[in-house]
Structure 1
Amino acid sequence: MAFLVPSNVTPVAEFILLGFSDIPEMQNFLFATFLSFYLVTLVANSLLLITVSVDRSLHTPMYFFLGNLSFLEIVYTSNIVPRMLVGLISDDKSISFISCMVQFYFFGSLGGTECLLLSVMSFDHYIAICNPLHYANIMNDKMCFLLATGSWISGFLITLITLLLMTHLSFCGPNEINHFFCDFSPLLKLVCSDAYLFEKTSFILSSSLTLIPFIFTIISYAYILSAVLKQSSGIGSKRAISTCSSHLIVVTTFYGTLITMYVVPSAKHSIDTSKIFSIFYTIVTPMINPLIYSLRNREVREALRRLINTKHVF
């Protein structure tokens, strides 16, 4: 892939990720904290993915999508956290231009895919609660595969457009990124060519991966809430509310921070605010997702217990 720059400027060969260098007294504490979060993320998501894969009682559409989400979280957080940890404990804060673009691409692709997967999961809940008699016919194996595959392909293709447009921008210095990874807004501040068309196009693309799925999810849960309130069975209602509330916690945390960062104009964010929001959707959410789904879901807890007792993990 060629990274095009005008002939009269010297292109940037590497960037410096400043991360949290403005608070040097906190480096060790942040390293220990983020390393702990990362390890919990890897273990929790891996355990949930294995459980969903090996326990036949969990071979249903809901857990199929949850398995996709757990795999995504492992890759998503691994794209960012290890490099950030290196920057916290060493003086090497540089990242090559190519590596920065690769990190940006996978961050955007996986983040977009997660938005779509969460929307698909809300659709699955909607069909299960609002149209239960036709659930098995609608959410068959083929449909589940198409929805999951479509989410992955769409996330990677739409972000690829943004990346290709970015390669036509000029980065000619300075090269310091005031962030802990190669994010959209900090990179855009280093562009020394006209980025107006790129910003507008990227806004439309990011909205298609965040705002539209979020609206679809909210509409789905509005119908779900209406259907649950009409149910006469108290047990059925409580179970539906428990399942959906877990998903809503994840959705609210993830979509809320992403929309604030990428749909609300970046001029409204301070550098510190941007970093805090970024911590939520790159580190905190991938960690709490499997914990929320496993701790609040009786079927997952029982499957985990069976898995540990039969020593599949060990």
Structure 2
Amino acid sequence: MVLFVILLLGYMIILGGNSMIIFVALTDSKLKSPMYFFLYNLSFVDIIYTTSTIPTMLSGLLAGMKTISVLGCFLQMHVFIQLAVTGRAILTVMAYDRYVAICNPLRYTSIMTKSARVLLVAGAWSFGTLCTLPATSVAFQRSYCGPNLVKHGWCDPSSVRRLVCGDVTVDNIISLSCAMVALLVTGVFILTSYILIGVSILRMGVVQRLKAFRTCAAHLTVVSISYSSASCVYISYRVGNIPPEVRIIVSVLYAALTPFLNPMIYSLKNKELRESIGRTLMRLRPAVVLPTKDVNTVTKLS
């Protein structure tokens, strides 16, 4: 029950924080820049990403429902991996957005048009799908035997692969190749964007440097946390003497950490977003009606 309560509270904060970002970005006229368009798309991905795994874990902890259909297992596997890659692809798009804003400020509005933004987000979703389909398609066509017991909190590809009847060398190569492509492509693009941003910042004055740093601080923090946690999960699966329980805990923390921290980081680092959230909360607060005194009435004393 302790684990259930902790996971439930974390999931509620994830839903509440990311939903708030989506709501204010769509309703506040002051948040119409491309950065907020990409931010609420990232929040949308984080909501579905955590919803693909956490509710099933909550039902298992509370009601003991620890079974899932074969089709549901592979669907969960595909959605989880695809959204993990799509989230990093959107972070890559946001890094490019920051590069254009800092290195080409005069051309920013002409480059980041509405159609360009939609194409970039569509490209992020397509990249996530292309990186996920080969591994999940091969896994779905395999024959499985044994107790059909997945030693994990959800249908994790590595845990499901242990149930395959036969050699899984090809499966491991395909899965590792897709993971490396997803991480390296997004990581190289993000790193290149920030190298170019750093070179551009060195040519600026002190005031402009501080402004540029504030612009990139939230995104850079989220990227650092995301890739550091992914590296920890990758290392935990490659080290043989780590107990399965520790791997599960590390994976659960990885799945929930970035979506949990994203709203907090962007709210703390971004003054414009913080003020927008404050205005939205004031708008949604129920009005308090105070009794008023009618100045036209006169009380007659006898």
Fold shared per TM-score above 0.5: yes
Structure 1 unaligned residues grouped into runs of 5+: 1-27
Counterparts of 1:114-263 in structure 2, within 5 Å, are: 114-234=87-207, 236-262=208-234
Distance 1:36 1:310, change over 3 A: same
What do the CA deviations read for 1:267-297 (whole angstroms, capped 9, x no partner)?
3262244223312331121111011101210
Distance of aligned partners of 1:128 and 1:312 in 2 relative to their CA distance in 1, 3 Å threshold: farther
- Choose 1 or 2 for highest CA Rg: 2
Aligned length: 285
- Residue 237 (structure 2) aligns with: 266
Gaps of 5+ in 2: 288-302
Counterpart in the other structure of 1:306: 279
Asked if structure 1 preserves the Cα contact closer than 8 Å seen for 2:90 and 2:121, the reply is: yes
**1:312/1:220 CA distance change after superposition, 3 Å:** farther
Q: Does 1:43 find its partner at 2:28?
A: no
TM-score normalised by L of structure 1: 0.85
Letter in 2 for 1:68: N
Matched residues in 2 for 1:313 and 1:233: separation? 44
Q: Secondary structure at the match of 1:92?
A: coil
RMSD between aligned residues: 1.9
Residue aligning to 1:287 = 260
Going from structure 1 to structure 2, the CA distance change for 1:216 and 1:273 (only over 3 Å counts) comes to farther
Paired with 2:211 and 2:249, the residues of 1 have a C-alpha distance of: 34
CA contact (8 A) 1:122 1:220 kept: yes
Equivalents in 1 of 2:160, 2:274: separation in Å? 42
Q: Which amino acid aligns with 1:204?
A: S
- TM-score, length-scaled by structure 2: 0.89
Higher relative contact order (CA 8 A, sep 6+): 1
**Helix, strand or coil for the counterpart of 2:146?**
coil
Aligned equivalents of 2:182, 2:35: Cα separation in 1: 21
Answer with 144-153 or 210-219: which moved more: 210-219
Deviation digits for residues 32-80 of structure 1 (CA, Å, limit 9, x no counterpart): 1110000000000001100000112111111100010011111111111
Q: How far is the alpha carbon of 1:145 from its aligned partner?
A: 0.7
Q: Does structure 2 retain, via aligned residues, the 8 Å contact 1:210–1:259?
A: no
Q: Deviations over 1:127-172 (max 9, x none)?
A: 1111212211211111111000111122123312221111122211
Shift of 1:312: 8.6
* Identity over aligned pairs, percent: 36
Higher mean displacement: 281-290 or 100-109: 281-290
Aligned partner of 2:51 in structure 1 is 78
What is the letter of the counterpart of residue 31 of structure 2? L
Which range moves more in the overlay, 35-44 or 216-225?
216-225
In 1, Cα distance between equivalents of 2:196 and 2:83: 28
- The aligned amino acid for 1:267 is R
Measured at CA, do residues 313 and 35 of structure 1 come closer, stay the same or move farther in structure 2, by a change above 3 Å?
A: farther
Q: Residues 236 and 247 of structure 2 are in contact (CA less than 8 Å); yes or no, is this contact kept in structure 1? A: no
Secondary structure at the aligned position of 1:57 is classed as coil
Distance 1:312 1:71, change over 3 A: farther
Task: Tell me how far apart the structure 1 counterparts of residues 13 and 67 of structure 2 sit (CA, whole Å).
Answer: 27
Match of 1:177, SS?
coil
Distance 1:135 1:34, change over 3 A: same
Is residue 226–residue 258 contact of structure 2 (8 Å, CA) maintained in 1? yes
Q: CA deviation at 1:186?
A: 1.1
Compared CA separation, residues 99 and 219, structure 1 to 2 (3 A): same
Q: Which residue number corresponds to residue 76 of structure 2?
A: 103
Tell me the distance in 2 between the aligned counterparts of 1:46 and 1:193: 44
